[in-house]
Amino acid sequence: MSVSQERFDSVCARAREAMVLHSTADTLEWDERTGMPIAAGEYRAQQISTLRALVHERRTDPTYGDDLQQLIQECKNEDPHGPVSATAQQLHRDWQRDCKLPTELVERISKATVRGQQTWDAARQADDFSIFEETLGHVIDLKREAGQRLSEGTDRSVYEALLDEYEPDAKVDDIQQVFDDLRTPLVQLIAAIKESPQQPDTSILERTYCIDDQRDFSHFVAEQIGFDFERGRLDETSHPFCTTLGPHDCRILTRYDPHWLPAGLFGTMHEAGHGMYEQGLRPDWFGLPPGSYVSLGIHESQSRLWENQVGRSRPFWEWLYPQTNEAFQSQLDGVSLDTFHFAINTVRPSLIRVEADEATYNLHIIIRFDLEQQLIDGSLKVKDLPEAWNARYQSDLGICPPSDADGVLQDVHWSAGLIGYFPTYTLGNAAAAQLFDAASEQIGDLDELFARGEFRLLLDWLRERIHFDGRCYSGSELIERATGSPLSATHLIKYLKSKLEPLYGIIES
């Protein structure tokens, strides 16, 4: 049986039509997070929810599903990882998942999460969780209902059914194993660093850094590492993110702090990493699996690799520091490269996840992973969330948030209904270290390249092994094909110890 070109073209056309509507809703959400007037929020929720409902109707059309099922039969002799077979398989998988959710539930979730983000923003600015409590409770109830429907007929828990949207086929037990492998060596490393008399001077990063100068510098760095500003742009928002609105329209957003230079700079590098992944997908397959990212764990591996393995490395700053000194001359006058590099690699338990150091970052994720599972299974009530959050920060990181804004209200994810998103950050951290090790072995001396400001070879390596294939392989398959072994926490631990122990003068016993 050969593949019907007419049927394949028809399926692709319908998928692309749905993506036009989907990306239009994404454009409205981007506008909401960047410049929409506050009073426009209610109507914006209606606009977005209407578009999301239309997308859902197209993606769950029975005729569309029949054609996909027929295509799968026709593709039995095709390469399962080829673009035609992968398109049929992955679109059918999406169709089966989407059909479990009635359109009216999709519409209710969309309205609730648009309003949720607006209410979260207001609550965060007011530093008052009570403003957000009822709204969050409504979002959690709706996501629990969605998870219950999605888990029907599967061996997944309700939480795993939600997790599947971000990390397909992931299991809580497998994620927990990665977290368990990380936890003990991380806690030991953090304790050794805390006891070391050799500590960085971070006050140099807290001096007053002009926001306009930070904008110009961040734009320069993003462009130098490979973000294409002819196909994307950099803007500002209350919580950094990346969104793609078309095959040549990638938006990255960051935020700047006049008294903490790393916030804007590393936030930009992080989002540029996401953006370069999106720009590396095949534009002629936009809206279809070969031109779509495979999972958020893989997506996060790209952002964290550029932010950390590249952006916090000594060779990177051997290239960039003279230009940094020029951009911020008054603030960094007399500050040596060694002093600056040590400061941006400080390890210190802190309240804010997006500004956390590499060693403590995953502890922030583990806390959220545990709490959101409890919210979904009902063992933790929304009204008790701030208390539970503070207790975990005290027990796990030894610090207690002094306010809701620096505690339970710091992340936008739950207000947007992104339940199951958080664990992908740590999966991405582990994958970033493993990919970087493989790239170093296969390309050669990356340190020498970075010290000269040359990043193209690394970007090309990632494009070939991760970006180009889109969803033609699973995330785990991409990692194993690129690195030669399954995802493991060992590369991340090795990377952190090899960098941080010399900085802090730690001699391993």
What are the residue numbers of the active site?
Answer: 271
92 with 116: CB under 8 angstroms?
no
Where b means 16+ CB within 10 Å and e means fewer, 440-474 reads eeeeeebeebbbeeebeebbebbbebbbebbbbbb
Please report, as a single letter, which amino acid is at residue 300: E
DSSP 8-class letter at 232: E
249 with 231: CB under 8 angstroms?
yes
Instruction: Tell me the two tokens of residue 173.
Output: 């037990």
44 with 32: CB under 8 angstroms?
yes
* Residue position matching structure tokens 């590393």: 266
Instruction: Tell me the two tokens of residue 156.
Output: 């997944």
Which residue, 321, 338, 305, 315, is CA-closest to 437? 305
Beta strands in 375-431 (DSSP E): none
Cross-strand pairs, 467: none
Cα(207)–Cα(209) distance, rounded to whole angstroms?
Answer: 6
CA angle at 433 for the pair 177 and 316, rounded to the nearest 5°: 155
Please report, as a single letter, which amino acid is at residue 315: P
Cα(231)–Cα(368) distance, rounded to whole angstroms?
Answer: 34
HSE value, Cβ hemisphere, 13 Å, CA-based, for 172: 15
**Which contacts (CB < 8 Å, 24+ apart) does range 151-160 have?**
152/100, 158/376, 158/377, 159/372, 159/373, 159/376, 159/377, 159/419, 159/420, 160/420
